[in-house]
Structure 1
Amino acid sequence: MELNIIHNEDCRTGLQRYPDSFFNCCVTSPPYWGLRDYGVDGQLGLEGTPEEYVAGMVGVFREVKRVLRDDGTLWVNIGDSYAHNGAAYHSEKSTLIGRKQGEEMGKAKRFVKSGTGLKPKDLVGIPWMLAFALRADGWYLRDCIIWHKPNPMPESVTDRTTKSHEYVFLFAKSGKKTIWTARDTGEWSNTPDLSQFIDTNDGERTPRWRGFHYYYNAAAIREPPAASTLQRWSQDIDKQEGSARVPGKTNGAMKAVGGPRKDKQRGHSRRHAGFNERWDLMTTAEQQAYGANKRSVWTISTKPFHEAHFATFPEELPRICILAGCPEGGAVLDPFMGAGTTGMVARKLQRSYVGFELNPEYVAIAERRLRKNLGMFL
């Protein structure tokens, strides 16, 4: 199958050509319900009720699940919307004025169809409706990430706060172990030798390979330590006894985190076996680079993209998802490609991509953008 391509067609049709278990991960931002008419037939987002919209999305991601590897992940960025009075969706003069993987531009109306239970000004709750529907369809709902936007679009509202966040949901395909990582080297394998064991510092033996339900490279997206933490790690606290920082006697020796350790830690449960050995073998610089596990609130500014007349998916958002969810050399899927940000980031990270986009104008924009930013590496 051809890689590094954007198909100008409905993903529900195009994905049928791809074999089972083809992609490592899917990173996408689908059209939001009732926010914009993108000017093409067959588009999602114009359904009369939230339930109809969610049902359509479940169908899309059911096909995504088929083409995703068993150790693959799905990352979905989606925002919420409000119910309003009105009778139609409106795209104004240009099909390119709208929201696709970015901020709302211009006016849009979401009508309240009778029988939905929605009242004017109700927050619809689309993100969680979709998350729960995908979970009910067999996906494993693993994480809810808040995308905090420090530069949100202003809103002319006086009876609520200005929206400055969207959601990123992480889903897994499998509920059983599909991939393993070596405790001593960190390498990943789908077919490890499970008969291998390694020695721990407390004299025990533990399996070398640790199994996971899906590929998730936490080390690739760790948050770097704060400057104060780096300074603290570099200090020899033993020499500070009697100083302003350590004014009195201490109960035993105090060592800097980054300094040498005389004794091994004892009493760890078996699930921690192997970690302390790797930590002790690291240099101080490596320990400092280890950082903290990625938090669930990501502060990322939106980025304007003048050619498409709408703000695009900021590169940092798919970058984090791809680093965590797709190994180098793997393939990333985006069934709602828009301006091509997911594909561009994938190539920059030495991954391949496949995208689908209904609007031919968006496809042309995305391809020009990819050529401009990637050149011969496209």
Structure 2
Amino acid sequence: MTIQRTISSSEIKKWKRYNGKWVPKVIVGDVRKIIPKLPNNFIDCVITSPPYWMQRDYGHPDQIGREPTPEAYVKEIVHVFELLKPKLKKTATIFLNVGYKYWKEEMILIPEMIAIEMQKHGYMLKNKIIWHKPNAMPTPARNRLNNVYEPVLLFVKREAKEFYYFNLEEVAEKPKTILDYHRLLSLKPEDYLGARVIDSLRYREKMKGIVVGVRYSDSKVYEILVKWNNNTLDWIPLGEPLEKYPEHVNFNCPYCKHVMGYWDILLSIANNNRVICPHCGKLLGTNQNNFPEPILTNNYAKIKEVKEIIVEDVEVKKYITKTPKSSKYLIVGQVFSSSPAGRLAISGEYIVIKRRWKIPQPLIAEYLRFWRIRRRVPIKKLDLILGYRDTAGHWFRKDFGEWGKGGSLPRPADWLKLKKILGFNDTYDRVMTEIIGELQTVKPHEEGKNPGDVWSIKLEQFPGAHFAIFPRNLVEKALKLGCPPNGVVLDPFAGSGTVGEVAMKLGRKAILIELISKYVELIKRRCGVVELIKL
């Protein structure tokens, strides 16, 4: 099915749905003439594979790929991304697949030539991903090895530095040994008694203590009683051994109740400098009642019977779980490694106090700014009242120059003091003050293993396409990594429309630009429905 219409550049932001999926927009024409008509600060991600140099002749006067020299080809490709730069959001990512070319018996490093020129034009190269092709075409050459990989260059805008959308959790490889660790980390309530506890979060001075009591139900420990080095006692919630803390927090829009995630908040502030609901488009944080509302769980709501063990004269333990007891480092008696297992053998296991909730720091900065301005309290006065020097200012910063390194969150104790000074409401009290104990031991990364920069993905064919198409698995991996849900992905050299097909599957909005009009039929077949537009 094809929806065909002529629209203005502002209307391109309006998207149609078909069977619950975003309908890809297809624009036929020269990418260099179409890109200037797109809105600024609009594109979340670019995934594309332009025509390779001297690979095919498409018989079109405006085609890219038939330039007389590699340098001229590189210049055209980089020019496309020069035009794209203002159209990209600050947090955008680019996945650019370009292959090598042999010319006069010599391998031409076209991907590297492009990367160097892109760096000169305001882009930062974050990765050269190696796309290994297990089913690569054989070569008749007998004087060199067959080329069985192509680079996929990952760029971000230089001004973004480290802040851009990159959701590694979406593609992380889940640990295969998770069942083994469940066995090793299955503890009885009394196993925690004597465990060391460190709290560097709540107060300015580091607190040290030991576990002298536990509260549990059905052998699951929910709280530990800590005796601190100042002889005070403190009941603290205990996290699951294989869970990650702080936990992500979702938020409700106070107007439409749309659920916003951690990334929704960060991306909105990074790209718009304010929090805007991605669903209803309302500006949030303009008064005390319209800040995003955190959605928090209560782990104790369903506990029926709580038992308690308290032993105040317990001995201090260096190891708690079964993990280190068979460590080779303990067996040999010496440690020559900086690996987690090696460090564990030296330092032992202990419980560290962490924030319970992972909340976007710029959102808290926006909230504190609102209340500080409302109460007319200078930042220097806050430092004076709280006994700091040049610390309070960091709580009001939401700069993204280097992943928010200029901003910081107040300690839980400081938050309660700020509440008395500024008189703010209870919206973020729980997320800012709730803590949890996390066992520090050797275990798989909770979010999975970083998959690395070598991707082994087979080439694909598509009926009607007389060329190897962009593999769906490759596009899916890049899309999950670099484009937020409901974000806009652009393929300026659409070909058969793989990016559009995968975007529909994953809930992203695709814009496909293609010079050769006959490929529109291939795109329609792949996507099922497209919106063919003219700008």
TM-score tier, shorter chain, comes to: 0.5 to 0.7
Establish whether residue 232 from structure 1 lines up as the match of residue 389 from structure 2: no
Aligned equivalent of 1:358, options 515, 524, 534: 515
Pair 1:167–1:249, CA change in 2 (3 A) = closer
Q: Name the TM-score, length of structure 1 as normaliser.
A: 0.68
Q: Name the TM-score, length of structure 2 as normaliser.
A: 0.49
| Contact 1:78–1:127 (CA under 8 A) maintained in structure 2 | yes
Question: 1:69-89: per-residue Cα shift (whole Å, max 9, x none)?
Answer: 111111101110111xxxxxx
Matches within 5 A, 1:316-335: 316-335=473-492
Tell me the percent identity: 35
Distance of 2:484 and 2:468 partners within structure 1: 28
How many residues matched?
287
Residue 112 of structure 2 corresponds to which residue in structure 1? 128
Residue 301 of structure 1 corresponds to which residue in structure 2? 458
Distance of 1:67 and 1:240 partners within structure 2: 51
Distance of 1:71 and 1:63 partners within structure 2: 17
Following superposition, the deviation at residue 247 of structure 1 comes to 11
Residue 158 of structure 1 corresponds to which residue in structure 2? 142
- Larger Rg: 1 or 2? 2
Following superposition, the deviation at residue 265 of structure 1 comes to 8.4
Pair 1:249–1:223, CA change in 2 (3 A) = same
Q: Which shows bigger deviation, 236-245 or 156-165?
A: 236-245
Aligned equivalent of 1:168, options 152, 156, 159: 152
Pair 1:365–1:244, CA change in 2 (3 A) = closer
Pair 1:81–1:213, CA change in 2 (3 A) = same
Question: 1:199-242: per-residue Cα shift (whole Å, max 9, x none)?
Answer: xxxxxxxxxxxxx42121122221222x3x32432332856999
Amino acid at match of 1:316: N
Structure 1: gaps spanning 5 or more residues? 84-119, 178-211
| Contact 1:217–1:323 (CA under 8 A) maintained in structure 2 | yes
Following superposition, the deviation at residue 127 of structure 1 comes to 0.7
Aligned equivalent of 1:62, options 82, 85, 88: 82
Matched position secondary structure for 2:106: coil
Pair 1:242–1:76, CA change in 2 (3 A) = closer
Residue 469 of structure 2 corresponds to which residue in structure 1? 312
Aligned equivalent of 1:216, options 141, 148, 166: 166
Pair 1:279–1:306, CA change in 2 (3 A) = farther
Residue 192 of structure 1 corresponds to which residue in structure 2? none
| Contact 1:71–1:214 (CA under 8 A) maintained in structure 2 | yes
Establish whether residue 348 from structure 1 lines up as the match of residue 296 from structure 2: no
Question: 1:265-300: per-residue Cα shift (whole Å, max 9, x none)?
Answer: 89xxxx9x99xx88949xxx9x67621123010111
Distance of 2:327 and 2:350 partners within structure 1: 26
Distance of 1:244 and 1:123 partners within structure 2: 49
Aligned equivalent of 1:292, options 440, 449, 465: 449
Amino acid at match of 1:230: I
Distance of 1:66 and 1:218 partners within structure 2: 26
Following superposition, the deviation at residue 306 of structure 1 comes to 2.2
| Contact 2:352–2:438 (CA under 8 A) maintained in structure 1 | no
Aligned equivalent of 1:81, options 87, 96, 101: 101
Residue 95 of structure 1 corresponds to which residue in structure 2? none
Pair 1:247–1:49, CA change in 2 (3 A) = closer
Amino acid at match of 1:215: Y
Matched position secondary structure for 1:263: strand
Following superposition, the deviation at residue 64 of structure 1 comes to 1.5
Distance of 2:437 and 2:152 partners within structure 1: 32
Following superposition, the deviation at residue 151 of structure 1 comes to 0.8
Aligned equivalent of 2:351, options 248, 257, 263: 263
Pair 1:159–1:142, CA change in 2 (3 A) = same
| Contact 1:230–1:288 (CA under 8 A) maintained in structure 2 | no
Establish whether residue 15 from structure 1 lines up as the match of residue 35 from structure 2: yes
Establish whether residue 29 from structure 1 lines up as the match of residue 49 from structure 2: yes
Distance of 1:335 and 1:279 partners within structure 2: 49
Following superposition, the deviation at residue 263 of structure 1 comes to 2.4
Following superposition, the deviation at residue 138 of structure 1 comes to 1.3
Q: Which shows bigger deviation, 323-332 or 2-11?
A: 2-11
Residue 233 of structure 2 corresponds to which residue in structure 1? none
Matched position secondary structure for 1:153: coil
Distance of 1:239 and 1:74 partners within structure 2: 45
Matched position secondary structure for 1:70: strand
Aligned equivalent of 2:525, options 364, 368, 371: 368
Residue 399 of structure 2 corresponds to which residue in structure 1? none
Matched position secondary structure for 2:145: coil
Following superposition, the deviation at residue 243 of structure 1 comes to 8.4
**If each structure's strand is expressed as a fraction of its own residues, which one has the higher value?**
2
RMSD value, Cα: 3.5
Establish whether residue 147 from structure 1 lines up as the match of residue 131 from structure 2: yes
Distance of 1:166 and 1:147 partners within structure 2: 5
| Contact 1:27–1:333 (CA under 8 A) maintained in structure 2 | yes
Distance of 1:240 and 1:60 partners within structure 2: 54
Distance of 1:26 and 1:243 partners within structure 2: 48
